[in-house]
Amino acid sequence: MLRASRLIKFNWLRLLPLAILLIGATAFFYFHIDGYLNFQTLKIYHDFLLIWTAQHYLLSVITYIGIYIILTAIAVPGPVFMTLVGGFLFGLWPGVLYTDIGATLGATLIFLIAKTALHDFLSKKVDGNLQKIQFGFVKNAWSYLLFLRLVPLFPFGLVNIAPAFLGVSMSTFFFTTLLGILPGTIVYTWLGCGIGEIFAMGRTPDLSIIFYPNILYPILGLALLSLLPILYKWIKHH
C-alpha cells in the first residue's frame, strides 16, 4: 500500500511541470497577453524600451531571455515578434545571441518536460513499425533535427516535443536547436534592427521575409546539406 502511494506521488510530481506549462499557456490567452505582443504596442513604447535598455542593459538582457524562454516553453505565439524586438533593442549580433539562448533553453525545457512526464506512457503505445522509425530517427538524430530546425515550414513547438518521444538525447536536441535556428534568427533579428525606420515610414515589418527566394533558398540548401550523412549511409549500404 505504501509502495503504491509512493508511485502515485512520483507520477504526480513528474506531471507537475507539464501542468504548470499548461496553466501558463491558459493564462497567456485568458489575460490576452498576446494582445500586447504586436507592432502597435512596440510603436507606442519603442522610445521607452530603448531608454530603459540603455540604462539597465544587463537587466534588460536577462528579462528578454527569460520572456523568450517562457513563451517558447508554453508554445504560444510570440517568439518571432520577440526576435524582432531583440534586434530592435540590442542590435544584430547581440540580438541573435540572446534570442538563440532564450529559444534554445525554452525548447530544451519543454523537451525535457515532455520526455519526463509522458515518455513512459507513450512508449507503451509504440508498435513495431514505430519502433523502426524511432530507431532510424535516433541513429541519424543530428541530421534529422538540423533539417527540421533549418526548414521554416515545420512548427517550432512540434519539433520541440516530438523528439522527446523518439528517444533523442538532451545534448543532441540542445545543440541541433542552438545551431539549427540560427539562420532564421539572423533573418528576423536583422529585420528588427531596422524597425525604427520602418515605423517612421508608417509601415510594419514584413514577417514573410523568410520565404523570399533569396533568403529561403540558401536556408533550404543548408537543410539539404544536413541530410548528406544519411544519404551517404544509404548509398553505402545499397
Q: Which pLDDT belongs to residue 120?
A: 62
Which set of grid coordinates corresponds to residue 147? 533539417
Q: Which pLDDT belongs to residue 224?
A: 85
Residue 180's closest CA among 159, 208, 201?
159
Q: Which pLDDT belongs to residue 8?
A: 46
Measure the CA–CA gap between 126 and 121, rounded to whole angstroms: 10
Measure the CA–CA gap between 62 and 66, rounded to whole angstroms: 6
Helix (H, G, I), strand (E, B) or coil at 204: coil
Helices and strands, counts by H and E, the chain: 14, 0
Are 91 and 144 within 8 A, CB to CB?
A: no
Instruction: Name residue 52's amino acid.
Output: W
| 151: DSSP letter | S
pTM: 0.87
- List, in order, residues 6 or more apart from 78 with CB less than 8 Å away: 34, 37, 71
Residue 64's closest CA among 90, 26, 32?
90
Are 122 and 108 within 8 A, CB to CB?
A: no
Q: Which pLDDT belongs to residue 11?
A: 64
Are 64 and 98 within 8 A, CB to CB?
A: yes
Report CA dihedral (164, 237, 146, 20) to the nearest 10 degrees: 0
| Cα-only R_g, the chain | 20
Which set of grid coordinates corresponds to residue 84? 524582432
pLDDT, one tens digit for every residue, the chain (238 residues):
445 444 444 567 778 888 899 999 999 999 999 899 999 999 899 899 999 999 999 999 999 999 999 999 999 989 999 999 999 999 999 999 999 999 999 999 999 998 887 766 656 655 555 565 677 688 889 999 999 999 888 889 889 988 888 889 999 999 999 999 999 999 999 999 998 888 878 788 888 888 888 888 888 888 888 887 777 676 766 6
Residue 134's closest CA among 164, 171, 175?
164
Q: Which pLDDT belongs to residue 96?
A: 97
Query: What tens digit of pLDDT does each residue of 82-118 get?
Result: 999 999 999 999 999 999 999 999 999 999 998 887 7
Measure the CA–CA gap between 166 and 145, rounded to whole angstroms: 12
